[in-house]
Structure 1
Amino acid sequence: MTGGDVDIARTAALFADPARVRVLTALGDGRALAASVLAAEAGLSAQGVSAHLAKLREAGLVEAERSGRHRFYRLAGGAAEILETLARFSPAQPVTSLRAGTRAQALRFARTCYDHLAGRLGVEVTAALVERGALVTTDGVPGTGRRPGDQLSKPMAEHPYAVGPAAPEVLGALGLSVDAVDAGRGRRPMLKFCLDWSEQRHHLAGALGAALAARFLDQGWLTRRRPGHRALRLTDHGADALADLLGVRLAA
């Protein structure tokens, strides 16, 4: 039989599990994230996060997108509105562990992707280069947002950017010579871009991206959090320099 009252309790029960809510909260800003990333942010095992995602997909609260061998998950339908409504009526949770979520947050903020910058810092620097004319878009679409057909968490085979007329001035202020980077790149492309998995925007790779990352590290604007770890720390000096030279304003 159909046509009875809607089963609100069944849907509400999905929000009653703290771990499941952490998964939903991680997706709350509109990003599509891999199960492994959600497991790290929610403090779950791979099996645990898969079980939660299966229930959320069955309820229509989460949808999946395949990119290569991986699946990326995002909120579906009105799930974001439900989360926001519940948040307005919910008390703040006490902080029980200083380590909770710090590694995942550090990776989202700034990290290396091979030898170039990624995370929020990487996409903000890339966007600033476009805004200042060091890079220009060639597809008529302003900004560095995801284009139709861009695959998540992958280098882009083709990209809609070129070196802009202001590149010598803008990059020179950062201590880089466009001609020197071009001369030393060998067979490597000057420009290459990835769709950043945590920000869903483009970040700069290629020879120029690698040169920028090396420059920021050499200047002490960025430091590695620990050997072998991809997460980077923005120093106070680096925050001031990026604000002055690129208008990128992020707290150290």
Structure 2
Amino acid sequence: MKEGPDIALIGSLIGDPARANMLTALMGGQALTPTELAAHAGITLQTASSHLAKLEAGGLLTQRKQGRHRYYALAEDEVGLMLESLMGFAASRGLTRHRPGPRDPALRKARVCYNHLAGDYGVRLLDSLVAARQIEVTGEDLALTDAGRHRIEALGIDYDALQKSRRPICRTCLDWSERRSHLAGSLGEALLTHFIEEGWAKREKGSRVIRFSHNGERAFLELFPL
């Protein structure tokens, strides 16, 4: 194809195994150093630096400097959404890189997807809001209803701040393990932050797993029934 978006370039950037591993590591939403990313990819720091430069030039990563250290993160929400969709597509075709292990059930139950909740609980969250008519679905588009606005404001989430964000308030993200949509956008991020700040859940160190406490799980299931 001689005209239009260059999907071949994006495909080549993601298609390298080392770069794919580094991008996946950044799906947790945290900024990581080149040394940490090299460890995730199983390559030397020098090789990782070359890969990171290509990913940054391709618009997939951004870096910031803090003192003597450099940190890399996904450039924007769209990169995380694209990666999650690709993971879902690969999973639906049976293309997995490892056999199921002990961490898989926890990842499938609740995990962080860049900055929002994914897995079974992420899908449940969206399904519950849609069933309660607090989110309206039109094709792939989501819209928060007046009832939904009142609901999130009752939780202490600042709706006006969500509106001022450059990102959509609500958007779908294809969940790789459930193969259905979960809630992304600024509202998805705000709700995950709320769950953590309330002490309902915390992130497992060195992992994308989100662990709900016993009381937190009960509160979550009561607040978002099916």
TM-score, scaled to structure 1: 0.49
Partner of 1:213: 192
Partner of 1:112: 112
Displacement of 1:124: 0.3
* Residues 167, 185 of structure 2: 8 Å contact kept: yes
Partner of 1:103: 103
SS of 1:187's equivalent in the other structure is coil
Question: Does 1:245 pair with 2:223?
Answer: yes
Question: Does 1:179 pair with 2:167?
Answer: no
Q: In the TM superposition, what whole-angstrom CA distance separates every residue of 1:10-50 from its partner, at most 9, and x where no partner exists?
A: xxxxxxxxxxxxxxxxxxxxx9716897443446xxxxxxx
* Residues 134, 166 of structure 1: 8 Å contact kept: yes
Partner of 2:74: none
Cα RMSD (Å):
2.4
2:143 is aligned with what amino acid? Answer: A
2:180 is aligned with what amino acid? Answer: R
**Could you tell me the percent identity over the aligned residues?**
39
Aligned match of 1:223 in 185, 202, 211? 202
After the TM superposition, which residues 1-252 of structure 1 pair with which residues of structure 2 at under 5 Å, given as runs? 33=91, 38-42=96-100, 102-139=102-139, 159-183=140-164, 186-226=165-205, 228-247=206-225
Partner of 2:70: none
Aligned length: 138
1:174 is aligned with what amino acid? Answer: L
* Residues 141, 172 of structure 2: 8 Å contact kept: no
* Residues 170, 187 of structure 2: 8 Å contact kept: yes
4+ aligned runs moved over 3 Å, structure 1: 34-43
2:177 is aligned with what amino acid? Answer: S
SS of 1:40's equivalent in the other structure is coil
SS of 1:126's equivalent in the other structure is helix
* Residues 124, 224 of structure 2: 8 Å contact kept: no
Q: Which ranges of structure 1 fall in alignment gaps of 5 or more residues?
A: 1-30, 44-101, 140-158
Displacement of 1:168: 2.2
Q: Tell which structure's C-alpha radius of gyration is larger.
A: 1
* Residues 92, 179 of structure 2: 8 Å contact kept: no
* Residues 201, 213 of structure 2: 8 Å contact kept: yes
Check 1:137–1:36 CA distance in 2 against 1; reply closer, same or farther (3 A cut). closer
TM-score, scaled to structure 2: 0.55
- Which structure's residues are more often helix, by fraction? 2
SS of 2:169's equivalent in the other structure is coil
Q: Which ranges of structure 2 fall in alignment gaps of 5 or more residues?
A: 1-88
Partner of 2:40: none
Distance of 1:42 and 1:168 partners within structure 2 = 39
